[in-house]
Amino acid sequence: MADSETPGDLIATMGQGARVAAQDLARLPTDTKRRGLEAAAAAVQAAADAILAANDRDMTRAAEAGLSGALLDRLRLDPARLAGMVAGIAAVAALDDPVGRAIDERTRPNGLHLSRVRVPIGVIGIVYESRPNVTADAAALCVMSGNAVILRGGSEARDSNRAIHAAFAAGLGEAGLPHDAVQLVPTTDRAAVGAMLAADGLIDLIVPRGGKGLVARVQAEARVPVLAHLDGINHVFVHASADPAMAVAIVVDAKMRRTGVCGSMETLLIDRTYPQAATLIAGLQAAGCTVRGDAGVRALADVDPADEADWDTEYLDAIASVALVDGVDGAIAHIAAHGSHHTDAIVATDPDVAECFLAEVDSAIVLWNASTQFADGGEFGLGAEIGIATGRLHARGPVALEGLTTYKWVGRGAGQVRG
């Protein structure tokens, strides 16, 4: 950014470049996009030394700044992680291309043939924090879906992001893809994020990738549509009809497989008439989970008390809140009051009860007899994900290539007039 250039000027210039690139990207055949991504993957691999050296500089700066161990781990690249990033780009290149696919078609009585055809959204803005692999992952998903992308990574990963972006963009360029298909905001000035959020007409969609603070800021400030989730306050409800062994397995997996992911269970709801509630709680505790229970739960097991705030808390840690509820209606009411519309599951053998839960719980993902930790684009067969959305419009749950497209109506006639 030149000294005289405001963040708004910078984003306007980048946005105009992205819009021109988006017009080109929208009409590229699948094979051309694939070749571009394969070239980008090769270029990132070829630049491994430079990228790892840049990452060393970021790590040194971050350690000096006193970043926590978890943040340092997210920031860190090594040859294996870099190879994973390269493999991820190649995996996206192998996915089915949604662009040009017909959603449906019809021929009107007057002979006019109409179809709805998937087209790229246009220009995507990605705002992310410390993980430098997002630079490559998000860029690959956007390019494969025919979108131009403006990336704005966190200051702590500045050098890593610049090195990854330089290699990725050079690879795309060698394969003949437009120069501005993938741009990285050159400044880590926070005002540049504000300019992106206000860039209505230049950026079509913002995807924040990072912690709750980042997502909340983006959702509060954005004039551009946002695809994201703020919380994953996910529930597992164990119905009276549940298979006890299955219930323990699902509950422990949902909470403890990885506690820091957005699909992890935060609250366990147990049907008041379920006979093996104590076994469930013991299973969590045996797996290393701290349990906070309501009065009913505390009468069954030795657990900490849960207060009102617990039902609205995303721990992202080895802690679970547990409540007894009155049947499926009680579970649905609790989730309506405290859920975050992310992922909620029921364990039950009674199909009527399960279908009631699936129909009435208003979340992006509802599951019957499966762990909430499946909330993931790869696990859903989408090959990847740009993120998980809990909003109500456009795309919900895991969002991958199709969620990065929209549609247009295409009509083919023989001279029809409305008359």
DSSP bridge pairs for 291: 320
CA distance 77 to 52: 7
Q: Rounded to an integer, what distance in angstroms lies between the CA atom of residue 338 and that of residue 362?
A: 12
**Minimum distance of its own copies from residue 356's CB (angstroms):** 9
Q: Give me the long-range contacts of 354-363 (CB less than 8 A, separation at least 24).
A: 354/239, 356/328, 356/332, 357/237, 357/239, 357/328, 357/331, 357/332, 360/332, 361/332, 361/335, 361/336, 362/336, 363/335, 363/339, 363/390
Size of site (CB under 8 A) for its own copies: 61
Pick the binder of its own copies from 82, 284, 365, 401 (CB under 8 A).
Answer: 365
Q: Which of 159, 253, 310, 385 binds its own copies (CB under 8 A)?
A: 253
Decide: is 31 part of the binding site for its own copies (CB under 8 A).
no
Beta strands in 243-289 (DSSP E): 265-271
Tokens of 3: 């000294």
**For its own copies, which residue of 23, 94, 176, 212 counts as binding (CB under 8 A)?**
23
Residue 400 DSSP code:
-
Q: Is 57 an interacting residue with respect to its own copies (CB under 8 A)? A: no
DSSP 64: H
Radius of gyration of the chain (CA): 24
28, 39, 397, 400: residue in contact with its own copies (rule CB under 8 A) = 397
The residue within the footprint of its own copies, chosen from 82, 195, 364, 384 (CB under 8 A), is: 364
- Considering only residues 31, 68, 337, 409, which one is a binding residue for its own copies as defined by CB under 8 A? 409
Write out the binding residues for its own copies, residues 91-120 only, by CB under 8 A. 106, 108, 112, 114, 119
Which member of 257, 279, 301, 350 binds its own copies (CB under 8 A)? Answer: 257
DSSP H or E stretch at residue 138: helix 133-144
Three-state SS across 74-128?
HHCCCHHHHHHHHHHHHHHHCCCCCCCCEEEEEECCCCCEEEEEEEECCEEEEEE
Close Cβ partners of 71 (under 8 Å, ≥ 6 residues apart): 62, 130, 156
Q: Which helix (H) or strand (E) holds 183?
A: strand 182-184
CA distances for 201 relative to 9, 62, 122, 180, 227, angstroms:
14, 36, 10, 17, 17
Contact assessment for residue 352 and residue 251, using Cβ atoms and an 8 Å cutoff: no
From the list 37, 202, 281, 366, which residue makes contact with its own copies (rule: CB under 8 A)?
A: 366
Report the site for its own copies in 262-321 (rule: CB under 8 A). none
Give the residue with the Cβ less far from its own copies, 2 or 414. 414
Residue 381 interacts with its own copies (CB under 8 A): yes or no: yes
Instruction: Decide: helix, strand or coil at residue 245.
Output: helix
Q: At closest approach, how far in Å is the CB of 392 from its own copies?
A: 5
Of the candidate residues 25, 95, 367, 401, the single one contacting its own copies (CB under 8 A)? 367
Which residue among 14, 18, 25, 26 contacts its own copies (CB under 8 A)? 26
Select the residue interacting with its own copies from 58, 137, 204, 294 (CB under 8 A). 204
Question: Distance between CA atoms of 24 and 31, rounded to whole angstroms?
Answer: 14
| Shortest distance, position 365 Cβ to its own copies, whole Å | 4
**390 part of the interface to its own copies, by CB under 8 A:** no
The answer to the question of residue 387 lying near its own copies (CB under 8 A) is no
CA atoms within 13 A on the CB side of 244: 11
At 253, list the tokens: 């997996």
Task: Name the segment binding its own copies (CB under 8 A); options: 3-11, 134-142, 285-293, 386-394.
Answer: 386-394
Nearer to its own copies, 90 or 374 (CB): 374
Please state, in angstroms and rounded to a whole number, the distance separating the CA atoms of residues 334 and 147: 40
How far, rounded to the nearest angstrom, does the alpha carbon of residue 243 sit from its chain's CA centroid? Answer: 32
For the bound state, the minimum distance from the C-beta of residue 105 to its own copies, rounded and expressed in Å, comes to: 11
Would you count residue 396 as binding its own copies (CB under 8 A)? yes
Pick 225 or 296: Cβ nearer its own copies: 225
Residue 40 sits in the site that holds its own copies (CB under 8 A): no
Nearer to its own copies, 152 or 396 (CB): 396
Residue closer to its own copies, measured from CB, 86 or 348: 348
Output the smallest distance, CB 212 to its own copies, in A. 17
Please report, as ranges, the residues that interact with its own copies according to CB under 8 A: 23, 26-27, 106, 108, 112, 114, 119, 121-122, 204-205, 225, 243, 246, 249-250, 252-254, 257, 336, 354, 358-360, 362-371, 373-374, 379-381, 392-394, 396-398, 406-419
